[in-house]
Amino acid sequence: MTQKTGIDRRRLLAGAGVAAAAAATGGVAQAATSVDAPAAGGWDFECDVLCVGSGAAAGSAAVAALTAGSKVMLVEKMPILGGTTAKSGGVTWIFNHFIFREQGISDPKDDALRYTVRYGYPRQYNPNSPTLGLDENRYRVVEAFYDNGSAAIDHLRETGAVQFKQFRLFQVDQPAPDYADHLPENKVPTGRALEPAAGSGSTQGGGSLASQIHAFLKAKGVPILTRTRVTRLVKDATGRVIGAEAMQGDKPVRIKASKGVVFGTGGYSHNVQLCDVHQPAVYGSCSLPGSTGDFIPIAQEAGAMMGNMGLGWRTQVVLGEALKTRGIGLGAFVLPGDSMILVNKYGKRVVNEKRDYNDRTQAHFWYDPAHEEYPNHLMFMLFDQRSIDAFGGAFPFPVNKAEQPHLIEGANWDEVFGKIDAQLAGWADHTGGVRLAESFAGNARQAIANFNGYAKKGVDPEFGRGNYLYDRQWHLLFSARRAGTTQPENPYPNKTMHPFAAKGPFYALILGPGTLDTAGGPQINAKAQVLAANGQPIPGLYAAGNCIAAPTGQAYLGAGGTIGPAVTFGYIAGKTAAAS
């Protein structure tokens, strides 16, 4: 275990919530059709605003609607509250927040929008366009994130629902750098990440964020129902959503929501059918098993316009763990070690191993048109005794080797490579038949030799490992030396790189692509209203969080890059619904 000084590196992104259980393996329930409003007296429950889900998105919506004077009800299909938020680190990424304002740090809107669009929509980005190359609606959604994010945080603070502090990396005692701190559009590259001021970091993380919201709602008398799965929307004669049908076990219930329904029900990482259709590849997910995409058929039957369905918040996963249990406890977020590289089936490095998990995982999806294959579909993490000894306990390195059943060990590289291919042979039915190429051994040895030279000079000319502030500071957090290690400090100029040992033992782990959760779904507008196919809002229907097409596109802007938009658009949805 690492020394806990402010935040535990193993819990930072995984949180201390309930570990994911075995995941769903099929589709969601029957597509939910809209139904007519029942006759008078046909409701089991009545409220103004119904919030579906119990994580950051639905919880923030409930707080906003309640404090705006509406009668609120919150329902959750799982037996526990908090969703994937409760399993996260609870970090919340926000532009121009109250700490910046207190410190006199300027976070101008124009620069913030350019950073978001450049990072999240790189193919569309046009700095000379008034909408930065986006269509009008998507631009207004990005703009709404900036305009309302700090207000959402202030609202939670001022109501007493949640207090926040700035998230800092304890190893360097600095505000966390954004995941693309190096982009020239990013004028404030550090400090935007916040965390709950109570129960944050090494203790409760996202569990604190969610539980504080739930405690606030309960204290205000808000009804909160678990094991209640919304299945259908109820509309009035004008087509306005005025409630929902749900199932409590085998019992159907009807809930009137005179001002509207807000969905914050998570993504679809545990719906294998949807992932196979819309995602490039998902072997496992850190999201809780409730992330089965329930909102997608409900929204489709309501006539919703689908946004980008293929988005996801990505992380690499230890393949053997994910094949055993799709709902994994931890992803391979920030890869530990300095004498460590990733290679593909040809034994070639293909990515900066120290880049953030969301961007690094996308290297799995490159298609080689010359050979009609995805050569990086699986990657092989190669390391030596120094790395596993110095950084053991930083996932996926075990403290004790027996803790990691999928660890490959060999006295020399030939033995390691043979065991990798044998492990692949046993999983071939689940991986598209990936095996090591004949050239793997020679190329891998050359990649290791090249890397050794880079480490000695401190410069990685292939992938720029260690060039950016993110690489260096997050490496210090996730590759803090294990107490009791016999390995010396890294004496080389680039602390993210150290030459491999000349002699074994050597090690490997097979990594595949996974998710924190998906981030694709219906398209919303700047008021968090779900849009119909004609581009107009569906009256009374709102959504936020991972169940919609991500407002920030493919960009994971920084630590808390999922929860920040969830809180913001939950807040917008709650306010908009309450005022309807």
Residues 284-332 pLDDT 10s: 999 999 999 999 999 999 999 999 999 999 999 999 999 999 999 999 9
| Pick from 1-10, 86-95, 434-443, 444-453: least confident | 1-10
pLDDT of 268 strictly over 90: yes
Neighbours of 439 (CB within 10 A): 13
Query: Could you say which DSSP state residue 81 is in?
Result: S
pLDDT band at 171 (very low <50, low <70, confident <90, very high): low
pLDDT band at 205 (very low <50, low <70, confident <90, very high): low
Helices 56-67, 563-578: inter-axial angle, 10-degree rounding: 30
User: Angle at CA 505, nearest 5°, toward 472 and 402?
Assistant: 85
b/e 69-93 (16+ beta carbons within 10 angstroms → b): ebbbbbbbbbeebbbbbbbbbbbbb
* Contact between residue 324 and residue 512 where contact means Cβ atoms under 8 Å apart: no
Tokens for 518? 């998906």
Query: In 3D, which of 155, 179, 69, 93 has the Cα closest to residue 469?
Result: 179
pLDDT of 365 strictly over 50: yes
Region class of 6: left (phi > 0), else alpha (psi between -120 and 50), else beta: left
pLDDT band at 198 (very low <50, low <70, confident <90, very high): confident
The predicted structure's pLDDT at residue 39: 52
The predicted structure's pLDDT at residue 27: 34
Q: Which residues pair with 113 in a beta bridge?
A: none
Cβ within 8 Å of residue 276, ≥6 positions away = none
pLDDT of 200 strictly over 70: no
Cβ within 8 Å of residue 541, ≥6 positions away = 233, 241, 260, 261, 263, 299, 302, 304, 529, 530
Tokens for 302? 């309501």
* Contact between residue 83 and residue 54 where contact means Cβ atoms under 8 Å apart: yes
What DSSP string runs through 484-548?
A: T--PPPP-SSSTT--PPPSS--EEEEEEEEEEEEE---B-B-TTSEEEBTTSSEEEEEEE-GGGS
Work out the percent of the chain whose per-residue pLDDT is above 90.
Answer: 88
Find how far residue 226's CA is from the centre of its chain.
Answer: 24
Tokens for 411? 């006295």
* Contact between residue 311 and residue 520 where contact means Cβ atoms under 8 Å apart: yes
Tokens for 427? 């999983």
Q: Which domains does the chain have, with CATH numbers?
A: 1-264+288-311+519-580 (3.50.50.60), 315-515 (3.90.700.10)
pLDDT of 567 strictly over 80: yes
> What's the residue count for the chain?
580
The pTM score is 0.93
Cis, peptide link before residue 223, omega less than 30° from 0 = no
**Across 440-460, average pLDDT:** 98
Amino acid in position 215? A
* Contact between residue 284 and residue 21 where contact means Cβ atoms under 8 Å apart: no
| Pick from 6-10, 18-22, 217-221, 236-240: least confident | 18-22
Give the integer Cα–Cα distance in Å for 416 and 509: 10
135 exposure class (CB count in 10 Å sphere: 0-12, 13-18, 19+):
exposed
